[in-house]
Every structure is written in C-alpha cells, then in structure tokens.
Chain A
Amino acid sequence: MSMALIELDKISFAYAPEEPPVIRELSLAVEAGACLALRGDNGSGKTTLLRILNGLSFPQTGVYRFDGTEINAAWLKKQANAKRFHKRIGYLFQNPDVMLFNASVREEIAFGPRQLGLSEAEIAARVGDCLALFDLEPLADKAPYQLSGGQKKQVALAAVLALNPEVLVLDEPLAGLDRRTKERVLALLTELRGAGKTLIAATHDDGLCAALDAGILRLNAP
C-alpha cells in the first residue's frame, strides 16, 4: 500500500475560540499524482483548508502530515524545513494581487528560480518557458500592477510553476479567466497531472473537476 503524500487526521480549525470551527474533524489522504477538487459554498472552509495544507494556518486539533512528516508551527519555524516544504508545495492565492510584488512580469517569474540558486542562463530559460506556457511574452516587461485580473492570475500561476513544485494548491484557478484562457489553463493542468504533479484546487467550476477527473471533497459551511 502506498503512503499518502498528504494526510489529514481529524483536524479541526476555528478562527477564534468562541467561534464554531470552520473545519471539524476532517480526515483526508491524498496520494502523489492525485487530483482533488474542494467544493462548497462560500465560507465553507475551502481557503482555510488550503492555508492549512500550505502551513499558513495550523489546526487546533488533529494532525497534518506531508510525506510522513507532521507539519506544525514548531517544525516550520526551522527555516530549512519551511523552505524545503514550500519548494515542494506551490500555492496559487485566490487573489493574485497579493502574489505580485516585483517590478515586471519577467522579474516576478524569475523570483523563485533565482532563490533556488540557478544560473542566470537557467533562470532565463525557465522564465521563457513559463512565459510561453501562458503566451505572456508580450507582457514580460510590463509591471504586474498594470495587468488585467485574468492576466495577473496567469502570471501568478506562472510564478508558482517556475518553482517546479510537486504539489500545486490552487485557490479558484479559473475564476476571472475568459473562455479561451480557461481552456488553456485547463489543458496545462491536465498536462501537469499527466506529468505526475499532485493537484488540489478549491473551485466552483464544474469544468475543472470534469477535465481533470478530480476526486471531490465537499465542504459544508459551519
């Protein structure tokens, strides 16, 4: 039996002690290469769960294990652990605005690879590949701030992909995209899945679940 890459064991999470938990005793196992779609109404805890998976929030009860290692605040406090973990799991935020802080699209995509210590030639090649994936070459020298919502989303996804994470955690990856771009992103995600990447996406989009043949986890609002 293969060990799950991501394992949640009866986790509960509440934003304040006096509030009802957003996530209550949730158990889940995701194997490497699997695809999981999180469905549910607004406020049902989809983004909260994604934050927990990325080590940005921690459950008050229960255990989260990534590749057999328990992920908690104490473990992530060690810089080396946090960096190794974040290299393996990439997170696309729901609002791409919060992900883009560099002076140009090219710099934005190069940020991750540059920190990996790649050579300038490798960085340039990787940035070129990521730009090409989304046909972003004409925007390469523009400031991310000047882009439209859909373009920002693509730049943010390209910036995450540039790190080549094993797991892609995507918060509403298709929201705000036009039909043509949506199709391109879906085709890319399908290809990434074929390449063995693990995909976890919070989505309201039926097309995404169908195209990726994703397992569905339905969350209910408290």
Chain B
Amino acid sequence: MIPAWLRETEEVTPARDSGAFALRTLKSLGGLLSRLRVQRGSAGRFRLPAVVKLLLVLGLIVTLSLARHPILILAVAALTLGWACLLPARELLSVLRPALGAAALALLLFLPAMLLRPAGVGNNLLVVGKIFLSVTLVNLFNRRTPWNQITGALRKLHVPGVFVFVLDLTLKYVVLLGGLVVDLLTARGLRAVGRDRHPWRSVGAVMGQTFLRSTALSRETWEAMCCRGFTEDYKGL
C-alpha cells in the first residue's frame, strides 16, 4: 500500500543552489576524461604506420628540445603546421586549443623572468614556441592514431610489455571512471531538486564511490583475465 504523500502532487519552488561549483568542476573533469572514449584516431588522408608516426613525433620533439638555431625550429614548425593542415577545421581547433593553452601558461610563468631580465626575452619566447610545437605534435599524433595502434607501436619498439599493459589499462580505466563520475553526477543532479546544503558531501561521496568502483573493477578485470589464461605476459596488437 503506497503512502498518502505519494498519491498527492507537490508544488515545489526550488531554492537557488550556489554551492554547486565543485560538482560542476568535477563533472566537467569527468566529461573530459570520458571523452577519450570517442577518440577514434582516424588515420586521415595519409596512412603512415603508427610506429613510423611515433618515431617521427619523438624525433621531432627531441630535435625541438635540442635545437637552438631558429632555422631548425622553423623547419619543425613548418612540418608540424603542414601535418596540421591535413585536419578538418573543427579537429584542427581541438588540436591547437590545448597547445595554445600550454603556450599561454608557459608565457605566464616566464613573464616575471622576462620583466626582470629583458636580455633573455628571445630565449624565453623560443621555449614558449617549442612548448607550443611539442604539444601540437603530441595532439596531432593522438588525433590521428587509435590507442590500440599506439600500444602496438610501443611493443614494436620493444617497450617492456608490462609498461604497455599498465598504460593500456590506465587509459581504459580513466575512460570508464570518467564516464562513471559523469553518470553519478547526472543521476545526482536529477534528484538535486532543491538546495543542497552540503555540496562538498556529495563531492566526497562521488569520489569515494569512484574509488570503490575502481578497486572492484581492477580486481574483477584481473580475475577475468586470469580465467582467460592471462599469464602476466601482455600481448598487444
């Protein structure tokens, strides 16, 4: 027999909830992590093997870090921008945005040094440029290469299997747990119809649940792998 209050329709005037900043931040972070799931890493117009792309990116980043001559840096910049030009406009924006963010942050950090020692401004700007190019290269590689091909390439380069395995599982769990955080906060949001007097309690609860879920997931995955004959020798693509 359902209680009387469940038979009635309630009118609610929601109170303004000002303490939801932490929850919104957590949700956007979770969304960011779960978006890795839709990283398709399409090969694009020019299908280079992942191992070649990986070596190329690593080589260019090392060259960038060691280079002091502007011509060499400009050459790397030209190569990077040439590669970036192959992307559709929307993808290009998502590649350049984090790179510009990283460069802006670096510029901010160098600002006091540049103000105190104007003679070193050129070198500081060079480092900022190198940071922009390095992040762009990593983003381009990430955009154009599916994750399983990246781990396959790492194995071909004789990176220890255990390292690749940990890397692979980490990404999978980041995606899974990011999705879980988003789902938990969405479900919470649907029931948060008034004023949450203790938003931080919800933040703690969601983080605690995520931790518990991650522990259970890792144990279950390990058990499932053992049941399928896993012998601690990881074999990727």
Contacts and interface: CB of A to CB of B under 8 A. Distances in A.
A188 B184 contact: no
B189 interface: yes
Interface of B: 1-3, 5-10, 12, 14-17, 180, 183-184, 186-197, 202, 205-206, 208-209, 212-213
Interface of A: 54, 56, 79-80, 82-84, 86-87, 90-91, 93, 95, 97-103, 111-112, 114-117, 126, 129, 133, 145, 159-161, 163-164, 166, 188, 191-192, 195-196
Contact of A192 (B2, B12, B186, B188): B2
A195 B2 CA distance: 9
A196 B2 CA distance: 12
B222 to A, nearest CB: 19
A91 B213 contact: no
Contacts of B180: 98
B205 A102 contact: yes
A91 to B, nearest CB: 5
B12 A129 contact: no
B5 A79 contact: no
A80 B16 contact: yes
A115 B193 contact: yes
B14 A129 contact: no
27 contacts: A56-B186, A83-B14, A83-B17, A83-B192, A83-B194, A86-B190, A98-B183, A98-B184, A98-B186, A98-B187, A99-B184, A99-B187, A101-B184, A101-B206, A103-B205, A114-B194, A116-B12, A116-B194, A117-B15, A129-B3, A129-B5, A133-B3, A145-B212, A163-B193, A164-B10, A195-B7, A196-B7
